[in-house]
């Protein structure tokens, strides 16, 4: 028994901030952002729009594509770093918006690797027979945890949501999932304060993303290389067996380095980072939905999703679409 993706969806908030808009906010240039990251624009949620709102639109699209209704869904997992509230979970708030009642609903927090973690968990629910129709969402309003005066971080991130519906199938679907973490690196990429730890708040009393970008970059490139090797070895596959790479969309240079490691031509790598920046847990399902809807990824093709993020966390999902 396999878990198979039977529908995908995405949603980006209406408001767009281009690199030229960012030039007006901080000391940066379109050229710097584009050359160092590949990002041209990012979407920002409206003031009254929350992570569960973004998740709702993406989930509706995925459910429609899968041809499933609210009474079919029996598991909801939301990967997010920016939940609406401390509690209830964003998954419960999404469940309410979707008029779904009774099924398990919970959040996963693995920062940019969140969607890969969520897929790994949903796969286990499906394989064990506990779920027959799982909704897996990655959704973020990172704009709410950005220091808009820090050019080193505010130009990198954006808001958005992506979703998939998984069902059991005898045809090959998810072949393997691989998830890892090493908390020893928590200092390199984090939000310095939160609910319980109030020791490192910014002057305005809030807490924002802070990152030692250069060190994170090096770790990301090395770690993504090794997760590719681990995934291929677990499936006794060669690099040439992979048809499509759908990487976490943080930085085009990291994506190119991983593609090179896989010997994957860039026209078989789905990149959307230029259009929405780093949307953390939302970036992989956003990119995947684009390549499904424009017909690039076809049924039966082999796809690798991979991600690296705060924690550090990292992981991969290999599947036949």
28-36, 194-202, 221-229, 260-268 -> range binding ligand ACO (CB under 6 A): 28-36
Residue 110's nearest CA partner among 312, 282, 316 is 312
290 to 309, contacts with ligand ACO by CB under 6 A? 308-309
Question: Between 94 and 155, whose beta carbon lies closer to ligand ACO?
Answer: 155
Question: Between 215 and 241, whose beta carbon lies closer to ligand ACO?
Answer: 215
The Cβ of residue 3 has, within 10 Å, a number of other Cβ atoms equal to: 25
Query: What letter does residue 155 receive in the DSSP assignment?
Result: T
Q: Which residues pair with 314 in a beta bridge?
A: 180, 308
- 7 lies in the site for ligand ACO, by CB under 6 A: no
Report the nearest approach of ligand ACO to the CB of residue 218 (Å): 9
- 61 lies in the site for ligand ACO, by CB under 6 A: no
- 214 lies in the site for ligand ACO, by CB under 6 A: yes
Exposed/middle/buried for 70, CB within 10 Å: 0-12, 13-18, 19+?
middle
Query: What letter does residue 240 receive in the DSSP assignment?
Result: G
- 112 lies in the site for ligand ACO, by CB under 6 A: yes
Helix ranges, the chain (H)? 19-25, 30-37, 51-66, 90-97, 114-127, 151-154, 213-234, 252-261, 273-276, 283-293
Q: What are phi and psi of 171, to 5 degrees?
A: -75, 145
220 to 249, contacts with ligand ACO by CB under 6 A? 220
Question: Between 94 and 254, whose beta carbon lies closer to ligand ACO?
Answer: 254
Question: Between 125 and 157, whose beta carbon lies closer to ligand ACO?
Answer: 157
Encoded one letter per residue, x for contact with ligand ACO by CB under 6 A and - for no contact, window 260-279 reads: ------------------x-
Report the nearest approach of ligand ACO to the CB of residue 298 (Å): 29
Active-site amino acid positions: 112, 248, 278
Helix, strand, or coil (residue 249): coil
Query: What letter does residue 250 receive in the DSSP assignment?
Result: S
The footprint of ligand ACO (CB under 6 A) covers 28, 32-33, 36-37, 111-112, 151-152, 155-156, 189, 213-214, 216-217, 220, 250-251, 254, 278, 280, 308-310
């Amino acid at each position: 028994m396999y878990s198979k993706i039977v529908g995908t969806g995405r949603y980006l908030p209406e408001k767009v901030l281009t690199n030229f808009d960012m030039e007006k906010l901080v000391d940066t240039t379109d050229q710097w952002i584009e050359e160092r990251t590949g990002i041209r624009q990012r979407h920002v949620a409206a003031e009254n729009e929350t992570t569960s709102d973004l998740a709702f639109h993406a989930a509706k699209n995925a459910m429609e594509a899968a041809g499933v209704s609210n009474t079919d869904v029996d598991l909801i997992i939301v990967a997010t770093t920016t939940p609406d509230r401390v509690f209830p979970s964003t998954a419960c708030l999404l469940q309410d918006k979707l008029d779904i009642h009774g099924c398990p609903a919970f959040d996963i927090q693995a920062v940019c690797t969140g969607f890969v973690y969520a897929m790994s968990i949903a796969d286990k629910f499906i394989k064990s027979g506990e779920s027959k129709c799982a909704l897996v969402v990655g959704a973020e309003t990172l704009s709410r945890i950005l220091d808009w005066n820090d050019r080193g971080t505010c130009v990198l991130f954006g808001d958005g949501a992506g979703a998939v519906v998984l069902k059991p199938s005898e045809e090959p679907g998810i072949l393997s999932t691989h998830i890892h973490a090493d908390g020893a690196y928590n200092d390199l990429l984090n939000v310095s304060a939160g609910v319980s730890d109030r020791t490192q708040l910014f002057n305005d009393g809030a807490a924002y993303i802070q990152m030692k970008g250069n060190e994170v970059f090096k770790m990301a490139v090395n770690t993504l290389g090794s997760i590719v090797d681990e995934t291929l070895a677990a499936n006794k596959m060669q690099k040439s067996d992979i048809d499509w790479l759908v990487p976490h969309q943080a930085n085009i240079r990291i994506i190119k380095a991983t593609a090179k490691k896989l010997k994957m031509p860039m026209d078989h790598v789905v990149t959307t980072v230029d259009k929405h920046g780093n949307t953390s847990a939302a970036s992989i399902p956003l990119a995947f939905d684009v390549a499904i809807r424009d017909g690039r990824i076809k049924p039966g093709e082999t796809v690798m999703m991979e991600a690296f993020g705060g924690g550090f966390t990292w992981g991969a999902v290999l599947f036949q679409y």
